[in-house]
Amino acid sequence: MGAEDAGELLPPASLPRRMPGETGIWVLVAGDLAVFSIFFIVLLVQRSSDTALFVASQRSLNQIIGALNTFLMLTSSLFVALGVGSIRSGSLARRRAPYFIATAAVLGLGFVLVKAYEWSERFSVGQTVGTNDYFMFYFMYTGIHLVHVVVGLIVLALLFMVSRRPSLDQGAVLLIESGGIFWHLVDLLWIILFALFYLVT
């Protein structure tokens, strides 16, 4: 039993329910979502007390760049999902996993670069975290999200290295799943941030 590749022993997608990844990652996800949920609510509550300011300030944001970032995040998540899926598919498919994960990481890095460019544009016209309430929220929330992205990239680097091993035990598979779930969380948070900051007027 011990020498077998645990990845091939896990149930395929059509079989009964199992918890993806390790339980701990879901504790992290729940906590993070709880915190960000409060962030979202606070943002909208604050918006109600100065709606005109929020609407006016929002016009400075570049929706195209925001959409580009959303596309990068979603596609990156897709590649992580493909990587995790291939891990469970038997040794031949598994060899593609590092490529999937590497692609996801490159896209994630692209997200960071686009955001850096976007922020520099804001700075160049004098908009920073202290400019007004809207920009305080914008820079703080997307900044905290950016920290998540950077942590996620480090996680992806780890997953990349683990996925290159010739055989993966149960622990390695769970690790890769858990790392993937964290990255999807980062994607998920951005989807909502994008909607609230860039699209709601």
Partner 1 sequence: MWLILVGATIGSLTLVEAFRSPTMNRTVSTVVIAVAFIKVRFVGLDFMELRRAPFALRLVFELWLIVIGGTLIILYWSQT
Binding site for partner 1 (CB under 8 A): 13, 16-20, 26, 29-30, 33, 37, 40-41, 44-45, 47-48, 51, 63, 67, 70-71, 74-75, 77-78, 80-82, 85, 177, 180-181, 184-185, 187-188, 191-192, 194-196, 199-201
Pick from 113, 143, 147: nearest CA to 129: 143
For partner 1, the closer CB: 128 or 195: 195
Please give the sequence-ordered ranges of beta strands (E in DSSP) within the chain, or none if there are none.
none
Pick from 179, 172, 139, 175: nearest CA to 155: 179
Q: Which residues contact 65 (CB under 8 A, 6 or more apart)?
A: 114, 117, 118
Contact 73, 111 (CB under 8 A): yes
For partner 1, the closer CB: 146 or 186: 186
Q: Minimum distance from CB of 180 to partner 1 (Å)? A: 8
For partner 1, the closer CB: 160 or 182: 182
For partner 1, the closer CB: 85 or 110: 85
Q: Minimum distance from CB of 88 to partner 1 (Å)? A: 10
Pick from 184, 167, 144: nearest CA to 21: 184
